[in-house]
Amino acid sequence: MTKNIRAGVFGASGYAGLDLVEILSLHPKVDLIFATSNSYAGDPVPGACLRFVRADDVEFDSVDVIFLALPHKASAGMAKRGIDAQLKVVDLSADLRLDTPEAYERSYQTPHPHPELLPTAYGLPEINRANIAGADVVATPGCYPTTALLGIYPLLRCDGLQPDTPIIVDAKSGVTGAGRKPSLTTQFAEVYGNLAPYKTGRTHRHVGELEQEAHKVNDRIGPVIFCPHLLPVDRGLMSSIYVTLAGSLRSEQVHDLYTEVYEGEPLVDVLPLGEQATLKHAVKTNKCVISITPVLERYAHITSVTDNLRKGAAGQAVQNMNLMFGLDETLGLI
């Protein structure tokens, strides 16, 4: 019996951090060694036999891998320290997702804190598995890019989209997607009974990441028109995707295509034709669930759903760790 992987979580009192702790605590091949939180240092960690410690009090040589659920800009520096200490690093922030410092500065309006770390392996296993398996550092994708990319990947791969026509992504996210820091926008009485679009018109920071990765698979696609909405639920993310098909593909063939492409994927479910993916299919699971509706001859409507804190963050981070350590990819996840 081999020894367990020793893991540490930075930023463990945020919503993604708390889910990470929950998953890692139950993972059969992981010992969770520490969980940092500067605000809650000393308090018990929910679901684990640990107390939160300050990030500065952590010893890097006590672990084999660190998970970074830190704000962007703070995360890259900690990744650097982890790399220098020869640890594996799974970053959940935005710091390592974009391939160039220029792209980062364009999306985040600030110079990249550690440009020497770019590019990093992009941690979406269903699209980029080979690169993740051999990597020491992996950038776990954002929740929006995860659902949208998985929702269009089969069409990208088979050249199934009509060039020059936009890919419409109408996305809806539960409130934990906005993080745990108190703000008026995420106050209960502001969200309750409401539905609110925000960062419309390609201004959301995830648009750059989404197009970067989509173009790696297929560079003959039109622009992504992406609009996120704040949904009055705690967790769950739905991307409603509307596409125009290339002349070579009829809408009634799309479901077969998706079924085929995702056939061996344990964490992507394509529902039978006629069944619709809903938040409940994915919430509290580590899966992405997809349904397909053919519309007329040339269009398709794809619904792609994840739990924003699981397949959209913590679950996918652990899936990446499993790959990096040569474990069964779904260990601790199903």
> CB of 122: closest distance to a second copy in angstroms?
25
Please give the backbone phi and psi of residue 110, each rounded to the nearest 5 degrees, phi first: -155, 145
Q: Tokens 């993080």 map to which residue?
A: 179
Q: Is 308 in the site for a second copy (CB under 8 A)?
A: no
Q: Tokens 């996918």 map to which residue?
A: 316
Q: Is 267 in the site for a second copy (CB under 8 A)?
A: no
Q: Is 37 in the site for a second copy (CB under 8 A)?
A: no
Q: Which of 28, 184, 263, 264 binds a second copy (CB under 8 A)?
A: 184
Closer CB to a second copy, residue 76 or residue 283?
283
Options 56-64, 108-116, 140-148, 292-300: segment touching a second copy (CB under 8 A): 292-300
Q: Is 197 in the site for a second copy (CB under 8 A)?
A: yes
Is the CB of residue 184 less than 8 Å from the CB of residue 191? no
> CB of 134: closest distance to a second copy in angstroms?
33
DSSP class of 290: E
At residue 185, the 3 state secondary structure works out as helix
Q: Helices 101-108 and 206-217 sit at what angle, rounded to 10 degrees?
A: 140
Measuring CA to CA, which residue among 120, 70, 115 is closest to residue 92?
70
Closer CB to a second copy, residue 130 or residue 334?
334
Residue 143 a catalytic site member: yes
Q: Decide the pairing of beta strands 237-244 and 196-197.
A: unpaired
> CB of 137: closest distance to a second copy in angstroms?
30
CA distance 83 to 89: 7
Q: Which of 136, 159, 234, 265 binds a second copy (CB under 8 A)?
A: 234
CA distance 255 to 275: 12
Closer CB to a second copy, residue 299 or residue 325?
299
Q: Which of 189, 219, 263, 326 binds a second copy (CB under 8 A)?
A: 189
Query: What binding mask, one character per residue, do residues 239-258 give for a second copy by CB under 8 A, x or -?
Result: -x-x-x--------------
Closer CB to a second copy, residue 136 or residue 170?
170
Measuring CA to CA, which residue among 33, 36, 3, 4 is closest to residue 17?
36
Q: Which of 98, 279, 288, 321 binds a second copy (CB under 8 A)?
A: 279
Residues forming a β-bridge with 44:
51
Residues forming a β-bridge with 51:
44
Q: How many CA atoms lie within 13 A of 114 on its CB side?
A: 19
Please give the positions annotated as active site: 143
Q: Which residues of this chain interact with a second copy, rule CB under 8 A?
A: 15, 165-166, 168, 170, 172, 174-176, 180, 182-184, 186-198, 200-202, 223, 225, 227, 229, 231-236, 238, 240, 242, 244, 276-280, 283, 291, 293-296, 299, 301, 303
